[in-house]
Amino acid sequence: MAEVEEVTEGCNLPVLRRNQEKEDEWPLAEILSVKDISGRKLFYVHYIDFNKRLDEWVTHDRLDLKKIQFPKKEAKTPTKNGLPGSRPSSPERDVRKTLDLQPATPSSGKTLPIPVQITLRFNLSKEREAVPGSPDQPLSSSSCVQPNHRSTNGSARRAVAAQPGRKRKSNCLGTDEDSQDSSDGIPSAPRMTGSLVSDRSHDDIVTRMKNIECIELGRHRLKPWYFSPYPQELTALPVVYLCEFCLKYVKSLKCLQRHLMKCDLRHPPGNEIYRKGTISFFEIDGRKNKSYSQNLCLLAKCFLDHKTLYYDTDPFLFYVMTEYDSKGFHIVGYFSKEKESTEDYNVACILTLPPYQRRGYGKLLIEFSYELSKVEGKTGTPEKPLSDLGLLSYRSYWSQTILEILMNLKLENGERPQITINEISEITSIKKEDVISTLQYLNLINYYKGQYILTLSEDIVDGHERAMLKRILHIKHK
């Protein structure tokens, strides 16, 4: 068995993870840093295959030294065409994987009750090319589709042979929802770049570790999940204090009290563009209110892993959602968007602060972003990659919004109702690719008697109705 002194950065070993909801477990973890405080060693660990927000400092008694794996010496990376740092190509990398729909075949001889069937019409040539499962266009792969997942009526998806001469433009990450249009009209893999996407290749040991212990924002104390580039002198403090109205950071409670005597803000700077009850939205220009926008980005980075924006806020608009009481307008969450986006992005970063999560505010932020797109007469999509929580929120919002439209369709001359992908996109302002990926995720598209239909099973209808009963926050239209 190894000794505690032998545990260094880069070692992998099981670490006791305390779980309030379940029994304690021993997942494999990587040692990212070691420090000595008054003769007591502490180890910063990242639980492999767990989200980085769970990383923490642990003592030696939580390490299983019997199963330690010491770091291996790095082998030289093979080269391609004699260029250092590039890996040789692999046939698997060049294969474009696609999915196709099989005609529905009963799996057990039983027919499930189908209360709603909607014909998926193809009245535009461009739309037909992008719709999954059309005879001349294979269904594009996306992160939310499982190759062997069966739909409610027994139809299955299967992998088909790769098309020669086509290569994937980028690798599909697990946090991405939809695919983008490529130049040849075939949806390609999700785009991994954007205005706020951090370059993961430059991650170092510093940015992999949480550097702020605690943040006090108004009446809340927040435990950051990720690294945020606050000034170095703040990282050694037990608590960083923020003014909840201008988001200025100070190093002590006394400094905050002095600041509050001079700060005359009681709401985010900018224009209030929406109010319903105690909920308000403020639009902030990143160029006109640079200090506030930068402070907002520093705070948001504590809870967002994939996006990065700290100082160059000029090209962005920020929409801050607040809750009003007698003391002022308190920040609940926000989203940012580029003033001019060539890729139809209507959201760059989106965040609901931890004290307000699981209360419907995330969907309200998403709904507001699409209402802005409707006002602009455009369809929109969030910038990739989405965080894990962001992906869940978007999937849920897309599903509920699209199902609400499908369930409200009426019979036409006694026949099943009809709708197109473009019509759904125009009604909701959700980009066509996101509509398609959502229908795939819900397993709604089926081939039946020579037609492509959207099949709403009883389980889907019941689940949607229960979800809509719980969702009480909506954007009110004038």
As a three-state string, the secondary structure of 3-70 is CHHHCCCCCEEEECECCCCCCCECCEEEEEEEEEECCEEEEEEEECCCCHHHCEEEEHHHECHHHCEC
Distances (CA, A) of 37 to 65, 175, 453: 21, 38, 65
Is residue 180 helix, strand or coil? strand
According to the CATH classification, is domain 392-470 in 1.10.10.10? Answer: yes
Q: Which residues contact 249 (CB under 8 A, 6 or more apart)?
A: 230, 234, 240, 241, 242, 295, 298
One digit per residue, the tens of pLDDT, for the chain of length 478 reads 778 888 888 899 999 988 777 788 899 999 998 988 888 889 999 999 888 888 898 998 899 888 888 888 765 555 555 555 444 444 344 333 333 333 333 333 333 334 455 656 543 334 444 444 443 333 332 333 333 333 333 333 322 233 333 333 333 333 333 333 333 333 333 333 444 444 444 456 778 888 899 999 999 999 999 999 999 999 889 999 999 999 999 999 999 999 999 998 999 998 999 999 899 999 999 999 999 999 999 999 999 887 666 678 889 999 999 999 989 999 999 999 999 888 889 999 999 999 999 888 999 999 999 999 999 999 999 988 787 788 889 999 999 999 988 888 877 666 778 888 899 999 999 999 999 999 989 888 887 777 778 888 888 888 888 888 888 777 776 5
Q: Which run of H or E residues covers position 461?
A: helix 458-470
3-class DSSP assignment, residue 396? helix
Q: How far apart are CA 63 and CA 28, in angstroms?
A: 10
Contact 180, 188 (CB under 8 A): yes
Q: Are strands 279-285 and 271-276 parallel, antiparallel or unpaired?
A: antiparallel
Cα–Cα distance, 26 to 69 (Å, whole number): 15
CA distance 264 to 245: 9
Q: What is the pLDDT of residue 79?
A: 53
**Domain 1-71+201-209, second-level architecture:** Roll (2.30)
Enumerate the active-site residues: 383
**Is the backbone of residue 268 left (phi > 0), alpha (psi -120 to 50) or beta?**
beta
pTM, to two decimals: 0.71
Location of each CATH 1.10.10.10 domain in the chain: 392-470
- Cα–Cα distances (Å) from 154 to 138, 144, 453, in that order, read 20, 19, 14
Q: Hunting for tokens 């990720």 — which residue is that?
A: 226
Question: What is the DSSP-derived secondary structure letter of residue 341?
Answer: -
Asked if residues 402 and 438 have their Cβ atoms less than 8 Å apart, the reply is: yes
* Cα–Cα distance, 248 to 102 (Å, whole number): 57
Structure tokens at 419: 């709708």
